[in-house]
Structure 1
């Protein structure tokens, strides 16, 4: 009989949180890899030469949105922030689906360019929010044991998303794929809520933080950068990614 403890060093009180965390990151990457082919197709439709400008636009948009992100996380609780932010993205997808359905010519080209930038921001944002939640729910010792297993959720989600699009690309329209992504994001919201709530009740490491799910996230725009340079562990991860 298969046991989770055979592949990951997980304690009994961590299993529920680990399950919901794995499901959370799985559906995030499943959602991203479902819409990424649409992003690439629409981005290329505007001309290959325009792609470099789209990446520049992504950078500029991220710089503009970072202060807003810092402002909101100081004032909203974790559950509220994740739910509102993800559902805002879901509403965006409804708007893009409508535009893609009715737009033609230059309007469709510009819709594709905006969507290209939007998907890039979406991917960076939702993944960073996920790992931010994980770093708060699990302590350092738990992270070293469990984060590798959580990373498999991202890998499996990416593979599943690519396989899903390949299998149904001819039978499902772009609009249908966008609505599938909306459904997946709602599952991600529900999973994040479970992780946050179980973090209070199941994990000994976070019991000392009263009302974890109901506290503000906190932090400022540059706090993450400061924390990275103060931690050799985070610097090592950053160097590996770069």
Structure 2
């Protein structure tokens, strides 16, 4: 390679490192992880606008029933995943998860083509897509976080997470352009194909991390007890704190989801798909900008406690303002702001928390929190909203938004608490490392 080519490459690397805060030796893994999550999110986001166009035809109680089914099947999926994680090495488990989802979507596609009842398959599609919506990202971050330290994750994770936003832009863009052609069955076929394309990326990441770390970190299965993840959740305050944070996050999401569905009820299903696709495009463009230029700098300068609490508190204030005039435009603007803040700041910040736990918690407890607790929270909150809404108390939309603001305040307080614990642990580790370095004898220079 000529000197001029080398200089150009070095210049590009320097610019990339300044932009992202990523060190030169971390670039390859970061780019591969970026591509991996990009493919995963593209596959899901093709399904999401199609899925989200369905609930506007349902009432509060009907939505609650579907979310209950989602929780049941999500919990079963986590149990199956934990069983196999106890018997299969992680390097084999991760690609098999995505292969299994690809096959499952192809099976639903085949059922559509065979003429199985469309109404039933629509509900199956809604539930299984909702399970996938959490599973693929949880498994991805479990796989990635095992290779990064606390300090590295604060620099690298926000960039990797922008890959999710890039994929989340491409998926809805496809839906917007091909709104009429992207039927449920076609979306399933495209998603399956993209999931299969992601499998070689997993192999490349395994190979890279093995070489970089000069050892195989995940070749052995985890503990054979399939309930060890649940046991850790119940016995560790940090994990319970994260679970509480996720539970309250789902509460805020549920209030937004029902409000969004209510204000879009007057539009046709095709119009909803296009509008929701447009919201995804705007949200994820904003997420990328925040992720590249803001998030990692917030993590490093202001800490994880601030990162986990700022967005919830800001959303609580905006929800109280929205309650005074909950018209369609204001609702959709706040939906974009909440989701961009959650994706760009809260999501990578909460993944940083898992760099401070062991592999057992990362691969077996994390899915319980990310999927079972999340979907359990969905069920609790959607039935709560149904109860206070058209199910019994008859709360107006404005009153439901105020109730959501109260949940957002509790969410912020929880984030502040668990983030402070993480920040304190990181500072203590840094102090111990500094003290250890000072105690090491100096090498003789003679």
Q: Same fold (TM over 0.5)?
A: yes
Which of 109, 115, 119 is equivalent to 1:109? Answer: 119
Deviations 1:164-210 (A, max 9, x none): 111122345443322221121123222222222211112xxx44xx3
Give distance in 2, aligned partners of 1:51 and 1:170.
Answer: 25
Shift of 1:230: 3.0
1:199 alignment counterpart: 209
Which of 23, 42, 50 is equivalent to 1:38? Answer: 50
Give distance in 1, aligned partners of 2:237 and 2:29.
Answer: 29
Give distance in 2, aligned partners of 1:102 and 1:114.
Answer: 15
Determine helix, strand or coil for the equivalent of 1:214.
coil
Q: What value does the CA root-mean-square deviation take over the aligned residues?
A: 2.8
2:144 alignment counterpart: 134
1:76 alignment counterpart: 88
Structure 1, unmatched stretches of 5+, are none
Are the structure 2 counterparts of residues 232 and 171 from structure 1 closer, same or farther at C-alpha, using a change threshold of 3 Å? closer
Are the structure 2 counterparts of residues 118 and 224 from structure 1 closer, same or farther at C-alpha, using a change threshold of 3 Å? farther
The answer on whether the counterparts of 1:58 and 1:117 sit within 8 Å (CA) in structure 2 is yes
The answer on whether the counterparts of 1:228 and 1:234 sit within 8 Å (CA) in structure 2 is no
Deviations 1:91-147 (A, max 9, x none): 11111112222336xx21111111111011111111100110111122222111101
Give distance in 2, aligned partners of 1:125 and 1:181.
Answer: 15
Shift of 1:227: 8.3
Which of 7, 12, 24 is equivalent to 2:36? Answer: 24
Are the structure 2 counterparts of residues 231 and 61 from structure 1 closer, same or farther at C-alpha, using a change threshold of 3 Å? closer
Which of 211, 219, 235 is equivalent to 1:214? Answer: 219
Shift of 1:87: 1.0
Are the structure 2 counterparts of residues 99 and 125 from structure 1 closer, same or farther at C-alpha, using a change threshold of 3 Å? same
The answer on whether the counterparts of 1:94 and 1:178 sit within 8 Å (CA) in structure 2 is yes
2:416 alignment counterpart: none
- Tell me whether 143-152 or 187-196 shows the greater mean CA deviation: 187-196
1:230 alignment counterpart: 238
1:169 alignment counterpart: 179
Determine helix, strand or coil for the equivalent of 1:7.
helix
Give distance in 2, aligned partners of 1:135 and 1:221.
Answer: 17
1:6 alignment counterpart: 18
The answer on whether the counterparts of 2:233 and 2:239 sit within 8 Å (CA) in structure 1 is no
Give distance in 2, aligned partners of 1:12 and 1:168.
Answer: 40
Are the structure 2 counterparts of residues 217 and 20 from structure 1 closer, same or farther at C-alpha, using a change threshold of 3 Å? farther
Shift of 1:162: 0.9
Which of 90, 93, 98 is equivalent to 1:86? Answer: 98
2:162 alignment counterpart: 152
Give distance in 2, aligned partners of 1:187 and 1:80.
Answer: 16
Are the structure 2 counterparts of residues 25 and 176 from structure 1 closer, same or farther at C-alpha, using a change threshold of 3 Å? same
Deviations 1:56-115 (A, max 9, x none): 1111222233222211111111221122211111111111112222336xx211111111
- Tell me whether 185-194 or 221-230 shows the greater mean CA deviation: 221-230
Shift of 1:37: 2.5
Shift of 1:226: 5.4
Determine helix, strand or coil for the equivalent of 1:137.
coil
Give distance in 2, aligned partners of 1:227 and 1:29.
Answer: 33
TM-score normalised by structure 1 residue count: 0.84
Give distance in 2, aligned partners of 1:116 and 1:73.
Answer: 26
Give distance in 2, aligned partners of 1:188 and 1:137.
Answer: 19
